[in-house]
Amino acid sequence: MILALGGCIGEEPVNVDAGPDEAANADPDQLDPSPPGVTLLVHVEYQTEEKLNWLVSEFDALEHADRKQGYVAMLVEPAEYEHLLDEGFAVEIQETPTEQLAEALSGFRSISGYACYRTVEETATDMATLASDYTDLVELVDMGDSWDKVTGGGPAGYDLAGMVVTNENIAGPKPRFFLMGSIHAREYATAELAIRFAEEMITGYGTDPDATWLLDNFELHVLPHTNPDGRKIAEQGYTQRKNRNTSSGNCSNPPTSSSQHGVDLNRNSSFKFGGAGTSSKACNLTYRRTSTSEPETQGLQSYMSSIFADQRGPGDADAAPSDTTGIMISLHSYSPLVLFPWSWSAAGAPNLTQLRTLARKFGYHTGYPVCQAPVCLYAASGTTDDWAYGTLGIAAYTFEVGTSFFQSCASFESTIVPDNIAALREAFKAARRPYQTPAGPDAVSVAVSSSPVTAGAVVSLTATVDDTRYDSNGWGSEASQNIAAARYTINQASWSGATTTAMTASDGVFNATSEGVTTSIDTTGWTVGRYLLMVEGQDAAGNWGAPSAVFLDIQ
């Protein structure tokens, strides 16, 4: 059954009053403000990997699939629906989601309907304000150009506007976390989530103990809008996925779920370019064009190469060393998932065990399934996370967040933000040694018995050291070890050469996977000021986990 829905979904078919040739040749700079039509959200069953790969390369396949039941979710127009039936596929229309999307987006052609999300311009303005207000913490950086920026005859285009967040008064080099959003333009939540995380770190400096030690010791590099040209189309309510490259193809305008101008930037990276999960057809949603052809991809790869050393050999089987430094996360929507390399192949990456361990820490916070894309979703080649791991050796991940491209502000604020901010903090803490630190226990609930105190007071420092905070949410389990030790440092991280002081088990013996730890601190001789106490734990396998901190004020 094809639903006869009024209104439109963001990626609407072309105007029914226009003939197909007229619509396809429309000026992509002049989008119809209210094209009528219907787009269906369907589940398409497949029997073989070849059929799945064909579906992904030919249609608007979403980041939602069920390997056990053998279906993939897609957006299709009525003609595509009939074509799938003619090809022998079993297609189930998801009536409620289709109706909800149509109702939510009927007549919607402005991001102002989603007050929680900033436009490209608003994001850039707010980053500039942060740089002005927090001069010691924020530096604006131009990471490249958009297609329109380097191509004449159309809109002016944009810089790939990002920022570096760190305490610039403390010299580096420092471990780096690169966070990017909105490489697929229609995924509203991702750009906002990226800048929200940066803002939390910036505004928390000096009042949030963990934000403080992280920015003292590490660098956060943030690119909220990786695809700003495409995002401007999406901000009008169209599900534009790709960038705005109009140089090839006789594609639909306005963009539809079957045809749109542009290149899929998450299929355009140079590592394993052109394989499964990509299309050579210019109007398809996964159109790859030629390797690193797009200015956005060139800027992204150039920038990451400038901040991360190449730490992995050239062979597919070459593992990055255990002391590799650096992590990147690409934020996508929708379908709750935490994905790790490889995306191009179902074979395990050389650092599979370590990549999976950190991913399961993310899964603990988000509740998302943690898996490898070709195993739980479908293969995709030329992706940003595969490039970052495959070329540089850094730990690289994709977060798929939420349940909609145009996620409601209510669910974004209540669920997506808190769950994912916690996971992003976990990632930032792991940036120094992403293949070692996540194997160790977390220090949580760090507290002092009293603060502020006068110099000479004896203060109790307590925490819980927990080696069980992993969850794949249905995709395997992570071994936990008993806690073996705990320690704290004052004002400096343990790896910087600071003096470490041992803590004891609250019950007198370390013999469980989660332990309360404690110590007494005599503040005799301490001067007036704020002190940062950093606690970390070690498991029986010898792994030290990331620290957590608390302030102690002496008055």
548, β-bridge pairs: 535
Is 89 in the same domain as 203?
no
Is 142 in the same domain as 161?
yes
Is 425 in the same domain as 494?
no
Is 92 in the same domain as 151?
no
| CA distances from residue 148 to 74, 144, 255, 489, 524 in whole angstroms, order as listed | 29, 12, 17, 50, 63
Is 57 in the same domain as 118?
no
**pTM (global) more than 0.85:** yes
Spatial CA neighbour of 369 closest among 277, 273, 496, 473: 473
The residue written with tokens 């601190």 in the block is: 521
Q: Which domain range does residue 118 map to?
A: 113-240+294-437
Is 430 in the same domain as 463?
no
Residue 168 falls within a domain, yes or no?
A: yes
In a 13 Å sphere around the CA of 466, the CA atoms on its Cβ side amount to 13
Tell how strand 548-554 and strand 529-539 pair up: antiparallel
Is 367 in the same domain as 465?
no
- Indicate which CATH number applies to the domain containing 92: 3.30.70
Residue 523 falls within a domain, yes or no?
A: yes
Is 147 in the same domain as 137?
yes
Is 104 in the same domain as 119?
no
Q: Which of 411, 437, 463 is the last residue of a domain?
A: 437
Is 516 in the same domain as 478?
yes
Q: Which of 51, 79, 111 is the last residue of a domain?
A: 111
What string of pLDDT tens digits covers the 555 residues of the chain? 223 222 222 333 222 223 333 333 444 444 443 333 578 899 999 999 899 989 998 998 888 888 888 999 988 988 899 999 999 999 999 988 887 667 655 544 446 668 999 999 999 999 999 999 999 999 999 999 999 999 999 999 999 999 999 999 999 999 999 999 999 999 999 999 999 999 999 999 999 999 999 999 999 999 999 999 999 999 988 889 999 999 988 999 999 888 999 999 999 999 999 999 999 999 999 999 999 999 999 999 999 999 999 999 999 999 999 999 999 999 999 889 999 999 999 999 999 999 999 999 999 999 999 999 999 999 999 999 999 999 999 999 999 999 988 899 999 999 999 999 999 999 999 999 999 999 999 999 999 999 999 999 999 999 999 999 999 999 999 999 999 999 999 999 999 999 999 999 999 999 999 999 999 999 999 999 999 999 999 999 999 999 999 999 999
Residue 276 falls within a domain, yes or no?
A: no
Is 191 in the same domain as 208?
yes
Is 219 in the same domain as 106?
no
The b/e string for 255-286 (b: 16+ C-beta within 10 A; e otherwise) is bbbbbbbbbbbbbbbebbbebbbbbeebbbbb
Q: How many domains does the chain have?
A: 3
Q: Which of 111, 146, 168 is the last residue of a domain?
A: 111
- Indicate which CATH number applies to the domain containing 461: 2.60.40.650
- Indicate which CATH number applies to the domain containing 303: 3.40.630.10
